[in-house]
Amino acid sequence: MSRYAWKERTWDGAPTLVLIDRDAEIEVEIVPSVGFNLFRYEVQGEPYIAAPSTLAELRAATSRYGVPILCPPGRVRNGSYTFEGREYRLPINREPDHAHGQLRDQAWHLVERGANETDGAYAMAVLKPAQVPDVRPYWPHHTELRLIYRVRNGELLLEGSIHNRSAETMPLALGFHPYFAVGKEEAARTRVVLPAAREWPLGPDGFAAGPPQPSALSDALRSGVAVTELPAYPGGSQMFSLAPEGGVGEVRYGARGTRLVFAFGDRFPIHVLFTAPWTGAVSLEPYTAIMNAFNEPWPAEMTGAQGLKAGETFRFGWSLRVEPWSE
């Protein structure tokens, strides 16, 4: 029997795809019709991603479960910003602002799936935002997003690209919002480790209230903070600029005797840390830029605000693995 496999399943009437690494006892499940959301990640029978109870629950709140893709990530004040003299108006979906983009709501086109000893078990999907009726009014750029999830050698990997096929530079802001499962009974023994260099102060509206500074929390996160000790900032989140040599976070499960290692590289210099009140989960969210980046007064080198030139491709990726660990 081959180490890797994939199979189709139906979840509440929607087709899903299950990727399997038999040797590592890994199963992940993806629903292409709802944002290509990876809503299940189990290792040796333990859930490491907080999943919704039903498909209807996910459709009603696509940013609240699984691993939603955020484009743009975070909030955009009043749902508008200007880039290279062009105004972009996004729908108000979190009054009075826009939050998390709409790619997480869309049906992605599954273009390839397979399993072999070289590539592992994998699934590839594509989305062209300008062809989506809900997105087209505020996204005039001819853009192709491509994502590949795979399980291989005991890891869950994401490989992705954004290709700008339009004639002008487009604004680029991307993030992911993985909900790492933490049961109530294990939260006090679960610690988050993050290579945070500076913390962005957040105002009551959840937006940055000033430039980032070293803080007690950013210092503590480098060695680990219990989930139960994370502060409840406005909006329930904290935002950090990472150390240049960063790119790896951890969720250390004392009760399970494991740690989840989240390697997100150098494409995501901003990180949001969020504890979900509606489900047992903590989110380590890699962002290319701070929320509302194109409206803020600080230098792009600080906020991460950037553009993708005509004909260019932005490539990114991250990986998860679970390994033994003891307190």
User: Average of pLDDT values for 217-221?
Assistant: 97
What's the pLDDT at 224? Answer: 98
3-class DSSP string for 66-130: CCCEEECCCEEHHHEEEECCEEEECCCCECCEEECECHHHCCCEEEEEEEECCCEEEEEEEECHH
Mean pLDDT of 56-69: 97
Q: Is the pLDDT of residue 16 over 70?
A: yes
Q: Where are the domains of the chain?
A: 4-324
Residue 252 is predicted with a pLDDT of: 98
Q: What value does the mean pLDDT take over residues 137-142?
A: 90
* Residue position matching structure tokens 């299940």: 40
Cβ contact 94:101 at 8 Å: no
232 vs 81, higher pLDDT: 81
Q: What is the CA radius of gyration of the chain?
A: 19
- Range in 102-116, 183-197, 226-240 the model is least confident about: 226-240
The CATH number of 4-324 is 2.70.98.10
Q: Which residues, in sequence order, are CB contacts of 116 under 8 Å at separation 6+?
A: 2, 4
| Mean pLDDT of the 143-154 span | 98
Q: pLDDT over 90 for what percent of the chain?
A: 92
pLDDT at 246 over 80: no
Q: What is the 3-state secondary structure (H, E, C) of 287-298?
A: ECCCCCHHHCCC
Average pLDDT (292-311) is 98
Q: What pTM does this model have?
A: 0.97
Q: At residue 234, does pLDDT exceed 70? A: no
Task: Judge whether 280 and 160 are in contact, CB under 8 Å.
Answer: no
